[in-house]
């Protein structure tokens, strides 16, 4: 194990070796030692992995952040949007049904029916306005989440 250099002597030189700051001779000694020493080899491998990670982070973070934002939008916001759409569709359908019922019976709707339809229409308008507000606020929220 110590044929090509003492571990205690070589190990502190690893980072300099990794940064290619050693002389040709020292570099050769480290190279030979690393081939025989598992501990130095794994220390060196860690340095490579850390370097790879940091360079990946440097170059790949923007697309990853975009992907993350996309995933958040798809997984969280799509079902929510679908829920709103269903609520509005349901309310609109209910209102149409009430109007059709009144038309079919060929009479003016009673006070109760007017109240019910008015309530449904009012709810639909409230939901639409809330949804519109959500849509306007959404890009702002998402930007803040990504930055955090």
Q: Which residue of 13, 14, 30, 40 would you call a contact of Zn ion, by CB under 5 A?
A: 40
From 33-41, 55-63, 74-82, 96-104, span contacting Zn ion (CB under 5 A) = 33-41
Q: Which residue of 6, 7, 80, 145 would you call a contact of Zn ion, by CB under 5 A?
A: 7
Shortest distance, position 16 Cβ to Zn ion, whole Å = 14
Shortest distance, position 3 Cβ to Zn ion, whole Å = 12
Shortest distance, position 38 Cβ to Zn ion, whole Å = 8
Tokens representing 25 are 């001779």
- Nearest-angstrom CA–CA distance, 95 and 100: 9
**Burial class of residue 40 in the structure, from the number of CB atoms within 10 Å of its CB (0-12 exposed, 13-18 middle, 19+ buried):** buried
**Contact status, residue 95 vs residue 127, Cβ threshold 8 Å:** no
- Nearest-angstrom CA–CA distance, 19 and 24: 13
Tokens representing 143 are 């930007």
Shortest distance, position 41 Cβ to Zn ion, whole Å = 8
Residues of the shown chain interacting with Zn ion in the complex, contacts defined by CB under 5 A: 7, 37, 39-40
């Amino acid at each position: 194990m110590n044929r090509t250099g003492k571990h205690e002597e070589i190990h502190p030189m690893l980072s300099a070796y990794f940064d290619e700051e050693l002389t040709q001779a020292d570099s050769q000694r480290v190279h030979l030692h690393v081939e025989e020493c598992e501990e130095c080899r794994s220390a060196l491998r860690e340095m490579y992995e850390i370097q790879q990670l940091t360079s990946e982070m440097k170059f790949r973070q923007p697309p990853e952040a975009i992907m993350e934002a996309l995933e958040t939008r798809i997984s969280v916001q799509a079902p929510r949007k679908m829920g709103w759409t269903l609520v509005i569709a349901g309310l609109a359908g209910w209102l149409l049904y009430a109007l059709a019922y009144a038309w079919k019976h060929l009479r003016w709707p009673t006070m109760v029916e007017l109240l019910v339809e008015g309530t449904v229409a009012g709810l639909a308008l409230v939901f639409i306005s809330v949804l519109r507000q959500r849509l306007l606020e959404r890009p702002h929220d998402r930007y803040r989440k990504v930055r955090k």
